[in-house]
Structure 1
Amino acid sequence: MPNARAYHLTRRGILAAGGALGLGVALAACGKDDTENGGSGKGSAKDAGPWSFKDDRGTTAEAKATPKNIVAFTGTAAALYDYGIQVKGVFGPTETPEGKPDVQAGDMDISKLEILGNVWGEFNVEKYAALAPELLVTDMWEKNALWYVPDQSKDKILKLAPSVALKAAEINMPAALARRAQLAESLGADLKSKQFADAKARFEQAAERLRKAAKARPGIKVLIGSGSADLFYISSPERPTDLKYFKELGVDIITPSKLDATGWFEELSWENAAKYEADIIMMDNRTGTLQPGDLAKSKPTWAGLPAVKAGQVIPRVTEPIYSYAKCAPILEDLAKAIENAKKVA
């Protein structure tokens, strides 16, 4: 995404990250590819020694003791939770309009969390300060832009506690997973536990299954889409962590021919939804995007797509929860879809 758009986001820019964001959410994120820098791990939840962690901006967060009052972007908080690290507050999609946990909340009990903001642009600085935060953690999709930390209040927010920002684009899924695990370990997670070993082994087995499925079915083409009322967004596989990894494993992902200026996706009117022939469609599962059931009722061109008629549409976890336990099923589901797909395009 061009630098000019990294800080001045239009409605179209809001729809950029990972393919297309739902209504009321937006792009703002990133970092420096630094998967080797890791956390220095000085101290843990069991001792009071100094703590530090070098993030993907190249910034080192430091504290006199391992942070315990942690506030994080919801999806990142959910990943930390899977490693046994609980946060005090969250910001980002956490609760649906029906009062249920958002997909990005993972296994967290949201009733026990202080929700500082539930949609793009919301971040209650007063509530944040009241939590006496010792660490802020979020993702980055574009360089030096912090995911779901509003620009207008960013300076106030960052003055209240050290911050860590981890890349959610430009690197592949294993690299993103490794970074969250490094952070969790620095905060006291036990990466030598059987639970961690089993989750990582399942992820690695899922990756191998997807590699074999892609190799066995080389003609199966996969389209990555996201639906809004007016447009069908087709994501490029070049930047998101999940799509980069799928390609590395051999999955034939369709690359749009006319990307918008951000380089993330191509916009199609629904009249032109059939521009690309696909055997499988992966559709953005985030709150605010139109789901296949909605599209079937309102978009005749959607219903006519070969993959749709064949029942070969699966969800795409556009913003993965970067724990091995949560990412393994993503690979397994895609592998299963490719293994069972009919050639329809």
Structure 2
Amino acid sequence: MTTFRESLARVASRRSFLAVSGLIATAMCRPALAQDAGTPSASGWAMTDGRGNTISLPTRPERVVAFSPVAAALWELGVRPVGVFGPFRQEDGSPDPQIGEVDLDAVVSIGDWEEFDLERLIALDPDLLVGLSLPDVPNTLWYVPEDASATVEAIVPTFGVTPSDRGHLGLIEDIESLAAALAADLDAPGIVATRNEFTAAEAELRDLLAEAEGLTALVISASPDEIYVANPSWFGDLRFFLAAGLPIIEPETEERWEILSWEQAAKYQADLILVDNRGGGVPFPVLDPIGTWQSLPAVQAGQVGPWHAVAPYGRRAFSNIVRELTEIIRQTDASVVA
């Protein structure tokens, strides 16, 4: 399992940051998924992925291997991957949050970070591998080692879902299009109910924020040595929350993070602080001894909540995050910072 500390180390690099979040949005446009593709016909199955590559196969893929957050989203939609790669189990044996509701006993793990097992991939005899393709790191799929990319392509056709200017919801919708092409019934009662629940959760958040006059929020990752202030324009989920009306403080940088020392912790004052919880939870034991952390008004008021910087790319999982944030905001005093 990727620990909180290890994740922070990755965040420091340009390449790793984009992938760790899984929730980013970029200002880049890219080809949309083919709306009429993925239907079996005399000519087989074909679909264009987020990289602009058209994957053409004799028949619809049945045996799918997917990156953990993508696998979780497909699972929500009734598509059952045979294998996954990426975060799988936590140290206590429980499912990693990124794997969502996937039955870990029903799938084979190809490996976590730097553990991609080509022999396991071959043994699964997959028809399609679905991964996360990042615009800043072209010609790669996250968690597929670059030195193994050519071998993987020789084993199985790959399909890349790509964050876009539409943010996190756009990523969710693209995976839904892929699921439909893999024979998922998006009109099934359970899926329609999930879609309606998401719409209701979004509306509730928007209504609450419309009344939360004066509220400010700060989103960070943190370690014992530094604070990483998130630039919301780089994160799909944060862009969604901004659009819903959450006033997230934007740091003085055009990059993904503004890195501050703990001596600079008071630079940005907010009524609510959301802290990156990758690795299992907000690291209060790590932050509690830090005096400047304890001096922040939001911390003193107990107005600190989790930021799910990595999460499944499914509508149900995101609905849960939206509802959780709504309850946090409902209990937040917007006058903590004048």
Superposition TM-score, scaled by structure 1 size:
0.85
2:94 to 97, 100, 109: 100
Residue 135 of structure 2 corresponds to residue 134 of structure 1: no
Residue 200 of structure 2 corresponds to residue 209 of structure 1: no
Instruction: Map residues 7-86 of structure 1 onto 2, 5 A cutoff.
Output: 11-13=12-14, 16-17=17-18, 33-35=30-32, 37-38=34-35, 40-43=37-40, 50-86=44-80
Instruction: Map residues 149-298 of structure 1 onto 2, 5 A cutoff.
Output: 149-168=144-163, 170-259=165-254, 263-287=255-279, 291-298=282-289
CA gap 1:100/1:39 in 2 versus in 1, 3 angstroms:
farther
Aligned equivalents of 2:129, 2:168: Cα separation in 1: 22
Instruction: Map residues 315-330 of structure 1 onto 2, 5 A cutoff.
Output: 315-330=306-321
Instruction: Map residues 137-148 of structure 1 onto 2, 5 A cutoff.
Output: 137-143=130-136, 144=138, 145-148=140-143
CA gap 1:127/1:334 in 2 versus in 1, 3 angstroms:
same
Structure 1 residue 151, shift from structure 2 partner? 1.0
CA gap 1:63/1:291 in 2 versus in 1, 3 angstroms:
same
SS in 2 for 1:302: helix
Deviation per residue, 1:262-311 (Å, 9 max, x gap)? x21111122222221111112222127x7232234443322322222222
Deviation per residue, 1:125-174 (Å, 9 max, x gap)? 12111211111111234342422111111111122111111123543222
Superposition TM-score, scaled by structure 2 size:
0.87
Deviation per residue, 1:310-338 (Å, 9 max, x gap)? 22222122123222211112222222222
**Contact 2:33 2:50 (C-alpha < 8 Å) held by counterparts:** no
Structure 1 residue 36, shift from structure 2 partner? 5.6
**Contact 1:32 1:57 (C-alpha < 8 Å) held by counterparts:** no
**Contact 1:31 1:141 (C-alpha < 8 Å) held by counterparts:** no
**Contact 2:11 2:17 (C-alpha < 8 Å) held by counterparts:** no
The percent identity for this pair of structures is: 31
Aligned equivalents of 1:67, 1:282: Cα separation in 2: 40
SS in 2 for 1:192: coil
RMSD across aligned positions (CA): 2.6
In structure 2, what residue type is equivalent to 1:327? Answer: F
In structure 1, what residue type is equivalent to 2:275? Answer: M
Aligned equivalents of 1:66, 1:31: Cα separation in 2: 30
**Contact 1:71 1:137 (C-alpha < 8 Å) held by counterparts:** yes
Aligned equivalents of 2:289, 2:134: Cα separation in 1: 31
Aligned equivalents of 2:117, 2:208: Cα separation in 1: 46
Deviation per residue, 1:212-258 (Å, 9 max, x gap)? 22221131111111123422111111122111111112210111103
Aligned equivalents of 2:179, 2:169: Cα separation in 1: 15
In structure 2, what residue type is equivalent to 1:80? Answer: L
Count of matched residue pairs: 323
**Contact 1:141 1:169 (C-alpha < 8 Å) held by counterparts:** no
In structure 2, what residue type is equivalent to 1:142? Answer: P
Aligned equivalents of 2:326, 2:134: Cα separation in 1: 26
**Which consecutive residues of structure 2, in runs of 5 or more, have no partner in the other structure?**
1-9
SS in 2 for 1:273: helix
SS in 1 for 2:51: coil
Structure 1 residue 17, shift from structure 2 partner? 2.6
Aligned equivalents of 1:168, 1:315: Cα separation in 2: 22
SS in 2 for 1:238: helix
CA gap 1:184/1:233 in 2 versus in 1, 3 angstroms:
same
In structure 1, what residue type is equivalent to 2:309? Answer: T
Aligned equivalents of 1:246, 1:11: Cα separation in 2: 24
**Which consecutive residues of structure 1, in runs of 5 or more, have no partner in the other structure?**
1-8
Aligned equivalents of 1:265, 1:285: Cα separation in 2: 16
Aligned equivalents of 2:32, 2:272: Cα separation in 1: 32
In structure 2, what residue type is equivalent to 1:339? Answer: R
**Contact 1:306 1:344 (C-alpha < 8 Å) held by counterparts:** yes
Deviation per residue, 1:83-139 (Å, 9 max, x gap)? 1111111111111122221111111122332211222x2211121112111111112
SS in 2 for 1:164: strand
